[in-house]
Chain A
Amino acid sequence: MGFMDILYIVIPSTLLWAAPLIFTALGGNFSERSGIVNIGLEGLMVIGAFTAIVFNLAFDQTLGNLTPWVSLLVAMVVGALLSVLHAVASITFRADQTVSGVAINLLAVGAALFLVKLFYGKGQTDIIQKGFSKIDIPVLSDIPVLGKLFFSNTYYTSYVAIIVAFVAWFVMFKTPFGLRLRAVGEHPMAADTMGINVTKMRYIGVIISGALGGIGGGVYAQSISSDFSHATISGQGFMALAALIFGKWHPLGAMGAALFFGFAQSLSIIGSSLPLLENIPNVYLLIAPYILTILALTGFIGRAEGPKALGTPYIKGNR
């Protein structure tokens, strides 16, 4: 197997595994930039995966090939709804944001499995028939070498994820909305005195995280797992959180980190079939994202520093 052959396998696989991480990490970016810690990303992905699968199974007859995309939209809405709970607890009721995030994770798993048993009478769903499928992107896949590397044997969702990352960057750093969102996460009182509604901005930030987390879960379920059970999402959300931090709370950084983590994940799965890698225990690949994130926080790989007001509730009139 030549080097190019390896790349032909690894790159599409990386894009596949990275897509859910990119969506979810971008979601986390909006929440944390507004000053709200969101370790509930895992739960948001769980609920997104669950929703997408259930909706997909129920409507694939009527919607045909559109099914996965519509399911994704529904997952987005349900993810957003669940995140409202986190917003209410941590913004309006000043709950400890980490604790509220833990509760989101517990609740999502409990509710999803409860409903799976209610709907299907067993612990996991059937396998969906209309998932996202591998495609060669028209025109682009005809480019010599690059076409085969980056645009063949792949999924649309991966490209949507990358486009969304650029949109998120534009929104966050080029628009008034982004300026206000970041101001609220850095110095909420300053934003308040400038007439910006801190509570509203933070609600929007958290709800966007729910929407994108829901999409992330929906993408994962419909392109990787194809069904939903207790083990469908196991750590993807936390890895997205890691990507967000490793990417230094920057949308494009988060995207880069997510691609890198997707690369590590895909290697840990397909590595045993590749020359050179077959003898390396995959434990190193599995833990690489987490160890790298710790190193980034510590400052060994350029210090990652979060928004200043991250994790602190804003109470009007308190100095």
Chain B
Amino acid sequence: MEYVIEMLGIRKEFPGIVANDNITLQLKQGEIHALLGENGAGKSTLMNVLFGLYQPEQGEIRVRGKAVKITNPNIANDLGIGMVHQHFMLVDKFTVTENIILGKETKSGLKIDLKKAEQEVRDISERYGLAVDPQAKIADISVGMQQRVEILKTLYRGAEILIFDEPTAVLTPQEIKELIQIMKTLIKEGKSIILITHKLKEIMEVCDRCTVIRKGVGIGTVNVSETNPNELASLMVGREVTFKTEKADANPAQSVLEINGLVVKDSRGLTAVNNLNLDVKAGEILGIAGVDGNGQTELIEAISGLRKSESGSIQLNGKEIRNLSPRKITEAGTGHIPQDRHKHGLVLDFPIGENMVLQTYYKSPFSKAGVLNFKQIYQKAKSLIQEFDVRTPSEFTLARALSGGNQQKAIIGREVDRNPDLLIAAQPTRGLDVGAIEFIHKRLIEQRDNGKAVLLLSFELDEILNVSDRIAVIYEGEIVAIVNPKETTEQELGLLMAGSKQKEVGEQTNV
């Protein structure tokens, strides 16, 4: 039999939902097999079934033709299945070696034989070209090296089949290139790989075959050489996907946000935003493109007052707002759709109604003399829920109970409703399905058409290219280029984002 893994007719239910329904995936020896689906389509669930973290209600798993029951990760390991998790499963305070041997320690007597273990780690890492320092603490090494440790963990356990769960999400372009090289080496050494992803480009580049699932249902398997990104996208989404967002030309007017010489440090005290200059005009969407970790988060936090900046100036409508409190900045006329909606955007244990007045509860008509007026609060909530199509049983439902898309719509409703001159949207569509993404893009463009300034931060190049009127490329805390989305390509942006090409900023700003 040429298949090393067969998952046949897998069904997995959780209370209230069917996460996987009749999904079949067959992995051939020596291939890289993509598992493609939108966020929430059930990819991770399926792989957790294979890895023994979940038990399927129906279906059969065969390994090299033999039916098996995988009831815990140990059995998966014994069968030669290893998983490289998206959120690294590493203990920060342990060393690389300790993390790798955990659960399968090399002993001498009662003691762990660390010397021997370190040598083993070194041997494997050399054989597969996975450079790591066996004695370094996880907390001190780069994300790329942490991922190599994750891979080494599976190889140390003798894995023949490796599952990569969205491995490129956290990597820089350089690290992605290295990872692809590693995967090819692994195949050469006789391993087989399942690559979980929703990035079509990666599939086209490295995969042999691709299995698509949509809303928990298996759609089918295609040979990558016989397909194209458009076909894959429509298989994934279930309808024709237009990559272009409809919008009229922008009519930029006066500058709303002006940033000059801004310096911001990150949590570790290193300079994250370095002498940055930027302006956003009324009636335009300015997109910030860049690889994660180049100061975007710190920039947004500094503008919105969540983080203190060192020096420079941030002006909103000509008024200095740098290092004011978040409340003062909000009152000055900003709205902010935060990057992490669970952390910053919502109080999940408040009803959705109370979340709608998170920045305005202290103002009339929502309160008087320090006493809340719940009638007014819930009336406002109700109208926003309707206007922004937030699907919720009622305005009294806890925010926690809503889906990600509806939570995001509620946040956008709240932020837009205050009618801010500047709307900051940080990764507004992260983790959402295509329907919600389109809705959100439309609302951003609507703000622009109403003469507001919109600052969009996204790590998805497609989103940046489609929605923005101007693109500012950030690299190592500086804006290295400002480009017109109509005149640029993904290739050019990619090079700029990697810092390998400098454009004359001054010349382009005046376009």
Residues of A within 8 A of B51 (CB): 193
- Contact present for A193 and B91 (CB under 8 Å): no
When chains A and B are docked, how far (Å) is the Cα of A317 from the Cα of B55?
Answer: 11
- Contact present for A193 and B89 (CB under 8 Å): yes
Judge whether A44 is part of the interface by a CB distance below 8 angstroms: no
Q: Which of B92-100, B230-238, B253-261 contacts A (4 or more CB under 8 A)?
A: B92-100
- Chain B's closest residue to A173 (CB) is B112
- Which of A180, A186, A317, A319 has a CB less than 8 Å from the CB of B103? A180
Judge whether A174 is part of the interface by a CB distance below 8 angstroms: yes
When chains A and B are docked, how far (Å) is the Cα of A297 from the Cα of B430?
Answer: 38
Please judge, given known A-B contacts A183-B91, A193-B85, whether A317 and B73 are in contact too, CB under 8 Å: no
Residues of A within 8 A of B511 (CB): none
* B-contacting residues, A164-218, CB 8 Å: 174-176, 179-180, 182-183, 186-187, 189-196
When chains A and B are docked, how far (Å) is the Cα of A176 from the Cα of B99?
Answer: 12
- Chain A's closest residue to B98 (CB) is A179
Residues of B within 8 A of A183 (CB): 91, 94, 102
B76-105 vs A: 1/0 string, CB under 8 Å?
Answer: 010000010101011111100011011111
- Chain B's closest residue to A178 (CB) is B112
Please judge, given known A-B contacts A179-B102, A196-B103, whether A317 and B94 are in contact too, CB under 8 Å: no
- Which of A175, A176, A186, A193 has a CB less than 8 Å from the CB of B53? A193
Min C-beta distance of B165 to chain A, whole Å: 11
Min C-beta distance of B196 to chain A, whole Å: 15
- Contact present for B91 and A195 (CB under 8 Å): no
Judge whether A308 is part of the interface by a CB distance below 8 angstroms: yes
Min C-beta distance of B391 to chain A, whole Å: 23
B463-484 vs A: 1/0 string, CB under 8 Å?
Answer: 0000000000000000000000
- Which of A174, A196, A308, A319 has a CB less than 8 Å from the CB of B102? A196
* B-contacting residues, A286-314, CB 8 Å: 308
- Contact present for A190 and B89 (CB under 8 Å): yes
- Chain B's closest residue to A185 (CB) is B91
Min C-beta distance of A82 to chain B, whole Å: 29
Min C-beta distance of B402 to chain A, whole Å: 18
When chains A and B are docked, how far (Å) is the Cα of A186 from the Cα of B91?
Answer: 6
- Which of B87, B92, B103 has a CB less than 8 Å from the CB of A194? B103
- Contact present for A195 and B103 (CB under 8 Å): yes
- Contact present for B110 and A195 (CB under 8 Å): no
Please judge, given known A-B contacts A175-B111, A317-B53, whether A190 and B74 are in contact too, CB under 8 Å: no
- Contact present for B102 and A194 (CB under 8 Å): yes
* B-contacting residues, A135-191, CB 8 Å: 174-176, 179-180, 182-183, 186-187, 189-191
A-B contacts besides A190-B102, A191-B103, A193-B53, 11 pairs, CB < 8 Å: A179-B98, A179-B105, A180-B102, A186-B92, A187-B90, A191-B91, A193-B51, A193-B85, A195-B103, A196-B103, A308-B93
Residues of chain B at the chain A interface (Cβ within 8 Å): 48, 51, 53-54, 72-74, 77, 83, 85, 87, 89-94, 98-99, 101-105, 107, 110-112, 153
The 3 A-B residue pairs with the shortest CB-CB distance in the complex, in nearest-first order:
A194-B103, A195-B74, A190-B89
Residues of chain A at the chain B interface (Cβ within 8 Å): 174-176, 179-180, 182-183, 186-187, 189-196, 308, 316-317, 319
- Between A and B, 13 residue pairs with Cβ closer than 8 Å are A174-B110, A174-B111, A175-B111, A186-B94, A187-B90, A189-B89, A191-B103, A192-B53, A193-B83, A193-B89, A194-B73, A195-B73, A195-B104
